[in-house]
Amino acid sequence: MEYLALPFVLREGYLDRVGLHESIMYSVGLILSTRPGTLPSDPGFGCDIWDKEYSDLYTANKADMRSSLRNAVDKYEKRLYDVTVSLVEVGEAGHESLGMGVKVTGNYRDNGEEKKFEATFHLG
């Protein structure tokens, strides 16, 4: 099955298509990068990490942050299950980097076959 790619790009009269894994990856990225209240059709869509001040990201309880991120993915990406979220280093060694990395893992079914999902997203 094919899914629409994000962002929507019209080429030669058609929107780009992707497979299930890529569709989930785009969806999770959209969830993690959207502040709640941004979409009028679903004010709860997104991740409340954006309600925190940047300096709070380093002092906040990391377990609470992971839980909040996982709950957002669980709520809005139903094709993914057994989701785990971890915070990871971003940027290259020796370079300062703003933001944080979020690694999302889980499982999904594609044509009845269970598959592993893993992707890392840079927030900030």
Q: State residue 63's pLDDT score.
A: 83
Q: State residue 45's pLDDT score.
A: 94
Token pair for 35: 């502040």
The dihedrals phi and psi of 82, each to the nearest 5 degrees, come to 55, 45
pLDDT grade, residue 98 (50/70/90)? low
CATH class as words, domain 3-123: alpha beta
**Which of helix, strand or coil describes residue 19?**
coil
pTM for the whole structure: 0.82
How confident is the prediction for the chain on average, in pLDDT? 85
Helix axes 62-76 and 20-33, enclosed angle (nearest 10): 130
Evaluate if residue 52 carries a pLDDT over 60. Answer: yes
Q: State residue 84's pLDDT score.
A: 96
Percent above pLDDT 70 for the chain: 84
Evaluate if residue 23 carries a pLDDT over 70. Answer: yes
Residues paired with 18 in a beta bridge: 3
Q: State residue 93's pLDDT score.
A: 53
Q: State residue 54's pLDDT score.
A: 57
What's CA 5's distance to the chain center, in Å? 15
